[in-house]
Chain A
Amino acid sequence: MSDIPVFFLHGLAYAGLLFLVSAGLTLIFGMMNVLNFAHAAMYMLGAYLSYTIIMQLTGQFWMALILCPLILFVIGALIERFLLRRVHKYGHLGELLLTFGLAYIVTELVKWYWGNYPLAVNITGFLSGTITIFGFIYPIYRIFIFLCAVLVGGVMALILYKTRLGIILRASVNDSEMTNTLGVNVPLVLMGVFAFGTALSGFAGVIAGPLLSTFPGMAQEILIDAFVVIVVGGFGSLGGAIVASLLIGQLQSFGVLLIPKLSVALVYLLMAIVLVVKPSGLFGEEQ
């Protein structure tokens, strides 16, 4: 069992990807109480935009890593301002239908513009290399994914719990009317949250491109995983998303090694157990 550290690394890298994909989803749910079904479609849009930026325009991975989240930030802000805000008064069903419809529209637009074929996003240079850890060759990019997740998780936690902006954010969630009366532009804050969440999904899309395939089915594939993470972690909980990602990442990696026949079921088993023992998720607040 000399290769246990490698499987641990595999688990970490996958956990990183899971966290990046689910962070925006759980943020938007936690802050706005909106279950954003268009999240995975935005992730796909991010991946496709990164294809255009990296493979067709600049050849720079770093450019995509900066530009894609910015573009999606703007798209997210527009969606919140002109669509989501209008249906908000009709309650959850309206929001659900809107984001569901958006997911379909974005998916079809992507197919229309980029085609139905899988596209290759290739990275070059340092990130595409390998290093030797524990006597094994390990791709640097997988470590990079984990580090990105740590960075994103860290920045989000810092903003939320250590800054004035974080206080405003949390106040807006707790009592939006009161916060509004205190002179905070709550609608603007919520627009920012939705835009930031959308930007995060785009960031995840850029990161996923070189590891996975960029194809029209990628949104559906990742949506289920993202939902499992936030169900296990607790809807809207950042800490929950971190813990659940790490848990599921390791469960997948070691599950494949130790009990391959059950490896797929393990994750859903975990979800079932969590739902039975603590229906609101590991870190979720009781409703």
Chain B
Amino acid sequence: MRKKLVYGLCFLSMVLMLSLPAFSVAAEGTIKLGVTEPLSGTFKDIGERYLDGVLYAAQVINESGGLLGKKVEVVPIDSELKPDVATRKAQSLILKDGVKFFCGGTGSSVGAAMAQLAEKQNAIMYTYGMDAASMTGEKCNKNFFRPGGSTDGRSFALAQLVVKMGYKKIAIIGQDYSFGHEALSAFKKRIAQISPSTKIVCELYHPAGTKDFAPYVSQIIAAKPDAIFTPNWGNDLTLLLKQGRPMGMKQKIFDYYINDEVTIQGLGNDSLIIGSMGAEIWTISMPTKKNEVFVAKFYKEKKRWPSYCAGKAYTATMFWAEAVKKAGSTDIAAVIKAWEGLSFDGPAGVWTMRAGDHQGQVPYWYTEIVAKNKYFKHAFETPRGMATAKSVEVPLAETGCKMK
């Protein structure tokens, strides 16, 4: 026991040391990119997979001569998923090391705080994974960019898919906080616009981190839907499937983040998830030439497949690099100006940065989970077409964004 204790204490102190902000010596001639992700705690695995993508983008940029002739240096920042921690660490990087560019993908509250910091300190923050629509809506500001998806885009894409497949009675269930509410209301809005005959037969909100889904599942079953829509992720998706399927909830599930290999592995039973469909801004199976090249190169070098987190972070970071290249300098005002309206033809199709709200206009790629795939032994995705950026566009006037 004592030996174990010693090991444990050593480990603890190591963790504590690692979570201190990384102080890097300000090397001349590099462009620093701070990555705010939870690199410890419960959501560590998501943070690490996002960081993986940013690191790989930096590697690709540096291998091809760098950015404006300088190397891109990635500075990981453990946000601990806390807005105050992320901004405190970022602030010190801005002041001590002159870091001007930041990105991150986990936790809309972290993103909102980082966006404010960026505005105050004349830096740029961009996100590839924080999806709350309000971030480029009411809360938008000129130093914040989202080369990525939003709850609006995802919900619109899935609503269009559900209607196209002919489902008429839909049950919708989401987490009871801003993210879940934004996702479900966007879904309802789109359904009402494109197919008034499609009915929402059941609308449920559960607390994030619900342990017993049975009372929710019984209500879904009682409403007799022919399809289910949910923006749930992580454990809330796992338990909905794990507890719902044995109770007779057999309907096809349309979910935001279905192609998450960690979630599928964590289910441990492929039959629970096969047939479910999702919409993402980057998926490993997108049949574009550039994506095939990226995925193959990534696999060849790392002997593992890029996760959807890595793919999104990679693509968004390449887009950011395009903006810096176009600006011809790292001057923040110049980069903001260059990024506005810029189009980037990357692995996930053409992404365009709308000037009015800094929301990337991006296509969404549909996937379905099937048993046989070339990536994993467990069930994984296969491509099922896409929704064009135009088809899921939210008119600027409806976003609520007033950029100063």
Interface, chain A (partner B; CB < 8 A): 3, 6-7, 10, 13-14, 17, 55, 78-79, 82-83, 104-106, 108-109, 112, 116-122, 128, 130, 136-139, 141-142, 211-213, 215-217, 221-222, 225, 252-254, 256-257, 260, 263-264
Contact = CB atoms under 8 A, between A and B. Distances in A.
A117 B266 contact: yes
Interface stretch (B4-12, B188-196, B225-233): B4-12
A117 B11 contact: no
B12 A221 contact: no
A286 to B, nearest CB: 33
Contact of A10 (B215, B222, B265, B268): B215
B215 A252 contact: yes
Given A109-B4, A213-B239, A257-B218, 18 more contacts: A3-B222, A13-B214, A79-B1, A82-B2, A104-B12, A105-B8, A109-B8, A118-B263, A118-B265, A120-B267, A121-B268, A130-B246, A130-B247, A136-B218, A137-B247, A212-B211, A221-B211, A256-B216
A82 B222 CA distance: 55
Contacts of B206: 256
22 contacts: A7-B218, A10-B214, A10-B218, A13-B212, A14-B212, A82-B1, A83-B1, A105-B4, A109-B8, A116-B45, A117-B265, A118-B262, A118-B266, A136-B218, A138-B247, A211-B242, A211-B243, A212-B211, A225-B211, A252-B215, A253-B215, A257-B215
A120 B269 contact: yes
Among A120, A252, A254, residue most surrounded by chain B Cβ atoms (within 10 Å): A120
Among B15, B44, B212, B246, residue most surrounded by chain A Cβ atoms (within 10 Å): B212
A105 B204 contact: no
Interface string B1-40: 1101101110110010000000000000000000000000
Given A109-B11, A116-B45, A138-B247, A213 B212 contact: no
Contact of A215 (B4, B9, B248, B266): B266
Q: Dominant SS at the A interface?
A: helix
B238 A108 contact: no
A196 B47 CA distance: 39
Nearest to A212: B211
A14 B243 CA distance: 12
A118 B45 CA distance: 10
A112 B2 CA distance: 17
A263 B205 CA distance: 10
Interface in B253-287: 262-263, 265-269
Q: Dominant SS at the B interface?
A: helix
B262 A3 contact: no
B214 A120 contact: no
Contacts of A128: 246
Contacts of B288: none
Contacts of A13: 212, 214
Given A137-B248, A253-B214, A213 B4 contact: no
B253 to A, nearest CB: 17
Contacts of A122: 268-269
B219 interface: yes
Interface residues of B, number: 42
Contact of B268 (A116, A120, A215, A217): A120
Contacts of B209: 221
Contacts of A260: 204-205
A122 B214 CA distance: 18
Nearest to B48: A116
A212 B239 contact: yes
Contacts of B269: 120, 122
Among B12, B214, B218, B222, residue most surrounded by chain A Cβ atoms (within 10 Å): B214
A-B pairs with lowest CB-CB distance, top 4: A120-B268, A118-B266, A256-B215, A105-B8
B247 to A, nearest CB: 6
A106 B1 CA distance: 11
A128 B239 CA distance: 15
B386 to A, nearest CB: 29
A122 B265 CA distance: 12
A201 to B, nearest CB: 16
A213 B12 contact: no
A135 to B, nearest CB: 11
Nearest to A265: B207
A42 B4 CA distance: 15
Contacts of B5: 105
Contact of A252 (B1, B15, B212): B212
A264 B207 contact: yes
B343 interface: no
Contacts of A130: 246-248
Contacts of A109: 4, 7-8, 11
A109 B268 CA distance: 23
A120 B261 CA distance: 13
B305 to A, nearest CB: 15
B42 interface: yes
B235 interface: yes
